[in-house]
Amino acid sequence: MDPELPFKEIIDLSVPIKSQGTPVFPGYPMPLKSTMTTLSDTGWLSYLWSFVEHSGTHVDSPGHVISGATLVDKVPLSTYVARGAVLDLTSKQPKSSITKDDLTSGLKKEGLEGKLGPGWILLLQMGWSARAGTPQWLEYPELSVPACEEIAGLKVNAVGIDSPSPDYAPLPSHKVLLSKGIAIFENLTNLDKVRGKDFIFVGAPLPLVDGSASPVRAFALVR
C-alpha cells in the first residue's frame, strides 16, 4: 500500500456476483451473464448481465418499501461513505431476534457507547455469509423493531448486515429504518476482518435511475 495514502489497508466486504451461482431470495432469478462480443470475432470482449437490483451485496433505498420515497440514484452519495463500527452478534441463533439490549451491550463491549451518530454506519456481524448456498441462509436472525428504533435514534447513515435481510415479510425493520433515511446494506461479508478497527466504509451504488436498490462493491479503508 502506498504510504502516502490516508489508509493502511483495503478490505473487501462484498460477495461475488456469479452468473447462475449467486444465492437469491426464492422467486428471484439468479444473475445471468451472456456473451455479447468476443476477442476472436470483434477484437474486444463484452458481456450482458441480467440481475435483480437486490442481488449480491446491495443497498436498499427508502423507495424499496415506502411509496413515493427517495430512490437509489437520488440518495446523497455521502450516505454511502461513513466511519464503520462492527458489533459481534455471531452468537445469535437462526430465526432469533436481535434485541435493543443486543445493540446497547454490543456498543458498550466495543467501546462505542455514545460515539455513533451522523457520519457512521453500524455493521452487524453474524457470520451469515458463510451459510450462503445452504438452507440455513434464509433462516437469518431478525432485527427487532425496538432495535431499529434504537438505531434510528442514533441517526447513523446506514446499517449493514452479513445476512440476506434484516427482517422477514412484511418487512417491519425495513420500514422503520428506511423511513428515517437510514440505508440498509445486505449480504456483506468479511466483517470479522474489520471489527475493532478504525475504518471508513464505502458502498456506493450504481446510479440506476429510479432504482429501488443497487448492487455495490462495499469495502473498508482501514486507517
pLDDT at 33 (0 to 100)? 98
Q: Could you tell me which of 138, 163, 146 has the C-alpha nearest to residue 102?
A: 146
Residues 44-84: tens digit of each pLDDT: 999 999 999 999 999 999 999 999 999 999 999 999 999 99
Q: Which CATH architecture has domain 58-222?
A: 3-Layer(bba) Sandwich (3.50)
pLDDT at 57 (0 to 100)? 98
Report the predicted TM-score, pTM, of the whole model to 2 decimal places. 0.96
Residue-range domain boundaries for the chain = 58-222
Q: Hey, how many other C-beta atoms are within 10 angstroms of the C-beta on 115?
A: 12
Task: Give the confidence band of 5 by pLDDT, cuts at 50, 70, 90.
Answer: confident
Task: Give the confidence band of 86 by pLDDT, cuts at 50, 70, 90.
Answer: very high
Q: Could you tell me which of 186, 199, 198 has the C-alpha nearest to residue 160?
A: 186
Is residue 1's pLDDT more than 80? no
pLDDT at 4 (0 to 100)? 83
Is residue 22's pLDDT more than 90? yes
Average pLDDT over residues 154-162: 98
Q: Name the strands in the sheet holding 219-222, side by side, starting at the edge strand that comes first in the sequence.
A: 9-12, 219-222, 199-202, 81-88, 120-125, 158-161, 183-186, 58-60, 213-215
Cis geometry, peptide bond prior to residue 170 (ω within 30 degrees of 0): yes
Distances in Å between the alpha carbon of 207 and those of 160, 194, 215?
20, 27, 10
